[in-house]
Amino acid sequence: DTGVSQDPRHKITKRGQNVTFRCDPISEHNRLYWYRQTLGQGPEFLTYFQNEAQLEKSRLLSDRFSAERPKGSFSTLEIQRTEQGDSAMYLCASSPGVGQFNEKLFFGSGTQLSVL
């Protein structure tokens, strides 16, 4: 198992620009999650997919944020018209998706976004 990979590791952008992050989950994992983590805080849930279906979105996910998971494999998270408040670590996680309580999430190393 190659683990969850995220690209890029770091992204610096100017306010108002659009950015897109990619996440490749562990193969055969049906569920894919996006979280956001600011300095000194725990990860905050943004959204999750079961295969290609986006089943839940947090209120944190404003209309400037969009996530996709075409074909139920990799996922992208796009932020349009970035704001300084979007600066954070964006974490992707995947899980087998069999619906057990003890199903743990496997996390990637994250994408650190800095909006100048």
Of the chain, the end-to-end C-alpha distance in Å amounts to 37
What are the two backbone dihedrals, phi and then psi, of residue 71, each rounded to the nearest 5 degrees? 65, 10
Residues 32-91 that bind another protein (CB under 8 A): 33, 35, 40-45, 48, 50, 55-56, 89, 91
- Residue 46 or 79: the one with the smaller Cβ distance to another protein is 46
Which residue lies nearer to another protein by CB, 14 or 28?
28
Q: How many CB atoms lie within 10 A of CB 74?
A: 16
Angstrom distance (rounded) from CA 33 to CA 84: 23
Instruction: Say if residues 82 and 16 touch (Cβ distance below 8 Å).
Output: yes
Q: Between residues 17 and 60, which has the closer beta carbon with respect to another protein?
A: 60
In the complex, minimum distance from the CB of residue 8 to another protein, in angstroms, rounded to a whole number: 13
Q: Give the residue from 89, 86, 80, 90 showing the smallest Cα distance to 116.
A: 86
Q: Out of 14, 59, 71, 104, point to the residue binding another protein (CB under 8 A).
A: 104
Q: Which of 11, 29, 31, 36 binds another protein (CB under 8 A)?
A: 31
The contact set with another protein (CB under 8 A) reads 31, 33, 35, 40-45, 48, 50, 55-56, 89, 91, 93, 101-110, 112
